[in-house]
Amino acid sequence: MPDPPQLHRSTTRLLSFAMVAIGVLLIVRTLVAGGGGLALGVVLGVLFMAAGGARLYLQARERRGL
C-alpha cells in the first residue's frame, strides 16, 4: 500500500481528471440538446474544466517545487 501522501496525490489527480471529463461531458450534452452560448450546462462545464485543470496545474507546480 502506498504511503498516505502518495495516495493523496494520486487521488487528487484522479478526481481532477474526472472533473475535467465531467466538464467536457456537460458541454457536449448541452450542445447536443440544443443549448448554446451561455446555457447553464456550458457554464457549469467550463467551470468544472477550470477547477479540474487548476488542481492539476497546482499539483504539478507543487511537485516541481515552485
Query: How far apart are alpha carbons 9 and 37 in whole angstroms?
Result: 35
3-state secondary structure of 50: helix
Query: How far apart are alpha carbons 57 and 39 in whole angstroms?
Result: 27
Global pTM?
0.87
Q: Tens-of-pLDDT digits for all 66 residues of the chain?
A: 779 889 999 999 999 999 999 999 999 999 999 988 889 999 999 999 999 999 999 999 988 876
DSSP run (H or E) holding 23: helix 4-32
How does 3-40 read in b/e, with b if 16+ C-beta sit within 10 Å?
A: eeeeeeeeeeeeebeebbebbeebbeebeeeeeeeebe
- Locate the domains of the chain by residue range: 14-61
